[in-house]
Structure 1
């Protein structure tokens, strides 16, 4: 029955759910950090304590322990010791398992039909569970040696419990057993027990463990030579002994070689090489685990192995991104220099038909640009090249069209249309344009007097179908503006010089670009298939066989976003639109002929440097943070400063080419710490939107009209195609 109420039903509260495109980055980053922390834990980089306490007094240690055997039993509260019978030798190996040396040790033991006791650390067992399983399968005995190898005399009972439980967890996951044998890190003979280590031994005994030290130390960790290791490991007069060796912790080649000679030599003397419990005639130290304990152990090993594989992949990714970053820097420096020298030659000409003097149609698509449009149009009226200006009002609701009409400027027309988007507005402008050369710009952008002239000069070459201008940030006085200024000069314009030389320019900026009408018509005009119509049309031009070049002196001053939210919206649209354009033109990869050059060179470059590399670049910062907290801090800072220095060199070179003031580079270090991370998250969100099939809507940025004239830096020395008198600020 339908529910109703005379007084009305209570309003339903709508729960706001975190969108998937936000939730997934959070989950990915959380999982990544968890994997990295787990890796650090099992590599003793996190929670590791490498302190070793010097010897202390022994007056609190029972005399029977100081003078007794190497096996100490305090399980019932009354200390006692045990010794290995004569003719029995218990070989013990500490600190493993090691992927290099433990298999060699096991091979030698198997060769001579000998058993041993391996005191494993939980960290190594978690990383190499297959070796622990092999030890058990071949009849060897396992003992605990803590998880991260700390000196337990420094640790609290809670930390001791943790070290033992984690060690047992790793053993359960690797071999499905528990053990009752324990050897403290940094231990030696029983007569070395002191007032600091004895309480630890008592406590561990109360937990049910036998503490096993040794009475014959090979000192193989010193690498004294094979003969010396054998001499030190050989007991006197046929006595039984527990011999200390190592299968991890460094180069153990001498240990392996000594073991291969030691075993047959002592076997000839009548020695037997048994497990500890076999030598003592005691029950096995191993017990099977089952139920929840077994599940937890297996889960632990699986997680550790997963973290190892993931971080190994991340490490490879870090190496790849490092190579890519430095390769890109190198290419930019070399090729941008080649481009600058080529176009700045005194006798340089774009083509045989130069200079280009024919009139140009300038299209200004505008949607609610009331605060900017007058500055934009007046800057065009100050142009030293003949132009007609067509303002296409795309359904503005703030009187944009009326503002332009009230200016009553010659050669300025307004075309109105219902709101249909920027591509439709540009196509409408092309249909109304009188001239064959068409310049496109944004409604928040101002041109210098020479911009149009400089922008169309490359059309003297009949193979040129489009020209990218030099877009600059006009509102760079704020911190966000300064960061974008660095990005525009270094990341965009330096790139465009490189891509020009490679003949695979990926994007004609919407703020300042020029086209042949015939080229536009051949590729079908501007498309609304993607949110990056400028990148889309550029790729279409390449595939149609046209050259796309960069005109460095065609400067346009645009209003960059002034808030983080606006910046996020803009870059989100750019990065998502670029992915759409790459996918749309993916067939260029297999196309042949002149148009295939973009597919062979340009599309891979764009995909690698604009999509893949930025996605992997956060690895640098993840490892930086990890290194600062858990790794070698000094080396980490040095490496980061080194990368920053390379970026600073590239940025300074880009500023020099663009004749920009170097003072803006002061904010470069802060840009690398804050701004770059924001761009990472934006790109990651774009990836997730693409992979989840999301459809991003066009997002209009709020304009303030602060860019009214080219900044003072724009008044630069005269270029070869203009006189000093023509270089005047727009007013």
Structure 2
């Protein structure tokens, strides 16, 4: 699709619909991050035998003094324990990829079955182990989603912990478990009021609570002999044995289990699952709805893990790219500054340097000012150009203004100023009209909301001494930089635009000569067909066309132009939306430069590549990175996240300070830089997103004329700088 078609096609639906898509994506991302953060960072597997603190005044005697298997369904509390000489073998905190298989191997060796109380997060991470547990004939029970203490969490979290673990089991095995073991609970005497409340509420949802009567204390890793001793019963009473197949190093557990099972066999004890020991069916086939819900939950968690992993890599890549850009642009800017100073010193004859001395350009220049409803600032613009120390011809092209723009210029009666009135046809047509009327071979184009310093024109055209140079970008400065929005744009112009232009100059891949101040060879413009109206960024389109035609485009930092920046967020949005949209159009139009040779290839592979990564892809992923930063502050180490942000900010401050030093600007506005990173940067990211969606949808974007404020003045403190 051509850039013209990209800008003229009208979509049948409103482009604003993409904001709903963006919000939906960010919401889904927030849900995924919240789920992943909750499951992996708020809770960790601890020691089951650490009892929760709290009173036990409301715990029924039937529980505190009864058996380890507790059934309070239907409002009546019943407890039971395994029959004599029966050992119900249970394992908590798994599955673990290292120790669970070894435990299963020992159980298979002794032809013994056990009950595994799995943690939901571990089950989702190792579904094959869960399936092996079931396939080997063992029993599955719920040990919560994240190993949270059910006795201390609120009701919503209790439901999430229990149901989440159940969904994980169902989603992996297709069976629903009815046995629940609350973490941090050992025997009946350790049940607190909070734990009992959670047990009783879970009973209403169909769960039997299973505690234990003998704790191996393997979580302490006291040694194989100590674990064996802890599992030695006194008398013939049936027991529920507590061991762990996850939550840490279980080497001692595996060794003690092997020897203990051999001893139980020799002593005639029956070792089995909880369900078999007390005569209940501990699992059932899950319903279709439960299987769908469980499968969705499992895949949702896996997707959230994938998203977080992907974002982590994106964050690393974005950080690396940002750091590389900072080092690159500062290093190249320093090189550009030294080379420029040597060249100017050689040209002035102040000292001998090993650089060629080129003749000073003194020939007259035609300055073209396209103007549409520029009554607020056109007088200041024209007067500033007339005051140039270089001989100039000024052509003001009134492009069908509905205000007094042309009348104001004519009323000035200034020498060398010509006014051309034409029907409204857009900025490219106005520039072409001025180009047709130009008397000189060198042409300067300047917006009607821009003023020059007296030396600007002369300084701007000096690189034309090199016959390879076809266009020159000047240094655009923000005139109305008062207020925080003006300060932010001032920083952006000095740091974002001018540092990049120094890089593009050295790399010979300048993508844009700004409409506010640019100089061109008239013959070069005619060779590429003049100024095209294919895109809304005619300056970028024209610059790229010149590069592809073999011309060098350079940056002249001492040629300053002062322009009005938007004074409201709405005006700023409209301006940057048009800029970004037009730049995307120009990049698409000139995409063929990527495979060309010479100057065109440099533009394609260097310039377009830089724009694609830094001005399209990086902003496109920036909202995701910002959401992840919030995730890090909540779920990860907030000190580390804040530290990384401060390091990033420090890099930005140092880069900005150097850019301000190169432009001889006071550092005072940099106090707003932290706020710019938090607010202004996000606004620019959203502009890129909307522009990209608009371009991909082929929606027609109208030309948005900038608001004019009549604030154009050349700050006295900057006049005469070199």
- TM-score w.r.t. the length of structure 2 is 0.89
Structure 1 pair 653–265 and aligned structure 2 pair: CA distance change class (3 A) = farther
2:458 paired with 1:465: no
Give the C-alpha shift of residue 275 in structure 1.
2.6
Structure 1 pair 231–352 and aligned structure 2 pair: CA distance change class (3 A) = farther
Supply the distance in 1 between the matched residues of 2:549 and 2:254 (Cα, whole angstroms): 68
Partner of 1:437: 442
Structure 1 pair 582–61 and aligned structure 2 pair: CA distance change class (3 A) = same
Whether the aligned pair in 1 keeps the contact of 2:52 and 2:185 (CA below 8 Å) is no
Partner of 1:160: 158
2:308 paired with 1:304: no
2:718 paired with 1:714: yes
Whether the aligned pair in 2 keeps the contact of 1:50 and 1:150 (CA below 8 Å) is no
Supply the distance in 1 between the matched residues of 2:593 and 2:246 (Cα, whole angstroms): 54
Supply the distance in 2 between the matched residues of 1:474 and 1:45 (Cα, whole angstroms): 51
1:275 aligned residue (273, 276, 290): 273
Give the C-alpha shift of residue 283 in structure 1.
3.3
2:24 aligned residue (27, 31, 56): 27
Structure 1 pair 24–73 and aligned structure 2 pair: CA distance change class (3 A) = closer
The alignment yields a C-alpha RMSD, in angstroms, of 3.2
Structure 1 pair 73–23 and aligned structure 2 pair: CA distance change class (3 A) = closer
Structure 1 pair 186–367 and aligned structure 2 pair: CA distance change class (3 A) = same
Within 5 A, what are the aligned runs for 1:510-529? 510-529=515-534
Supply the distance in 1 between the matched residues of 2:668 and 2:294 (Cα, whole angstroms): 58
Whether the aligned pair in 1 keeps the contact of 2:346 and 2:357 (CA below 8 Å) is no
Partner of 2:458: 453
Partner of 2:85: 86
Task: Provide the secondary structure at the position in 2 that maps to 1:681.
Answer: helix
More off after superposition, 190-199 vs 399-408: 190-199
Within 5 A, what are the aligned runs for 1:305-454? 305-345=302-342, 347-348=345-346, 352-454=357-459
Partner of 2:168: 170
Whether the aligned pair in 1 keeps the contact of 2:228 and 2:260 (CA below 8 Å) is yes
Give the C-alpha shift of residue 506 in structure 1.
2.0
2:186 paired with 1:188: yes
Give the C-alpha shift of residue 241 in structure 1.
4.7
Whether the aligned pair in 1 keeps the contact of 2:58 and 2:193 (CA below 8 Å) is yes
More off after superposition, 420-429 vs 555-564: 420-429
2:145 aligned residue (123, 144, 147): 147
Within 5 A, what are the aligned runs for 1:325-724? 325-345=322-342, 347-348=345-346, 352-707=357-712, 709-715=713-719, 717=721, 719=722
Structure 1 pair 615–277 and aligned structure 2 pair: CA distance change class (3 A) = same
Supply the distance in 1 between the matched residues of 2:269 and 2:224 (Cα, whole angstroms): 20
Structure 1 pair 565–210 and aligned structure 2 pair: CA distance change class (3 A) = same
Give the C-alpha shift of residue 404 in structure 1.
1.2
Whether the aligned pair in 2 keeps the contact of 1:458 and 1:464 (CA below 8 Å) is yes
Structure 1 pair 432–220 and aligned structure 2 pair: CA distance change class (3 A) = farther
Supply the distance in 2 between the matched residues of 1:122 and 1:630 (Cα, whole angstroms): 19
Partner of 1:729: none
Whether the aligned pair in 1 keeps the contact of 2:81 and 2:238 (CA below 8 Å) is no
CA deviation vs aligned residue, 1:333-355 (integer Å, no higher than 9, x gap): 21111111221236345865322
Structure 1 pair 503–253 and aligned structure 2 pair: CA distance change class (3 A) = farther
Give the C-alpha shift of residue 443 in structure 1.
0.6
Supply the distance in 1 between the matched residues of 2:419 and 2:159 (Cα, whole angstroms): 80
Give the C-alpha shift of residue 444 in structure 1.
0.3
Structure 1 pair 642–590 and aligned structure 2 pair: CA distance change class (3 A) = same
Whether the aligned pair in 2 keeps the contact of 1:98 and 1:128 (CA below 8 Å) is yes
Whether the aligned pair in 2 keeps the contact of 1:44 and 1:123 (CA below 8 Å) is no
Q: How many residues matched? A: 700
Supply the distance in 2 between the matched residues of 1:252 and 1:48 (Cα, whole angstroms): 14
Supply the distance in 2 between the matched residues of 1:165 and 1:395 (Cα, whole angstroms): 69
Structure 1 pair 353–299 and aligned structure 2 pair: CA distance change class (3 A) = same
Structure 1 pair 615–153 and aligned structure 2 pair: CA distance change class (3 A) = same
Supply the distance in 1 between the matched residues of 2:85 and 2:221 (Cα, whole angstroms): 28
Supply the distance in 2 between the matched residues of 1:18 and 1:581 (Cα, whole angstroms): 20
Structure 1 pair 185–586 and aligned structure 2 pair: CA distance change class (3 A) = same
Whether the aligned pair in 1 keeps the contact of 2:366 and 2:438 (CA below 8 Å) is yes
Structure 1 pair 250–456 and aligned structure 2 pair: CA distance change class (3 A) = farther
Give the C-alpha shift of residue 170 in structure 1.
3.1
Structure 1 pair 395–205 and aligned structure 2 pair: CA distance change class (3 A) = closer
Task: Provide the secondary structure at the position in 1 that maps to 2:411.
Answer: helix
Supply the distance in 1 between the matched residues of 2:276 and 2:591 (Cα, whole angstroms): 69
Whether the aligned pair in 1 keeps the contact of 2:15 and 2:694 (CA below 8 Å) is no
Partner of 1:294: 291
Whether the aligned pair in 2 keeps the contact of 1:49 and 1:151 (CA below 8 Å) is no
Structure 1 pair 649–290 and aligned structure 2 pair: CA distance change class (3 A) = same
Give the C-alpha shift of residue 284 in structure 1.
2.7
Within 5 A, what are the aligned runs for 1:56-67? 56=54, 61=59, 65-66=63-64
Supply the distance in 2 between the matched residues of 1:162 and 1:236 (Cα, whole angstroms): 39
Structure 1 pair 438–246 and aligned structure 2 pair: CA distance change class (3 A) = farther
Give the C-alpha shift of residue 46 in structure 1.
9.6
More off after superposition, 609-618 vs 444-453: 609-618
Supply the distance in 2 between the matched residues of 1:513 and 1:105 (Cα, whole angstroms): 76
Structure 1 pair 266–322 and aligned structure 2 pair: CA distance change class (3 A) = farther
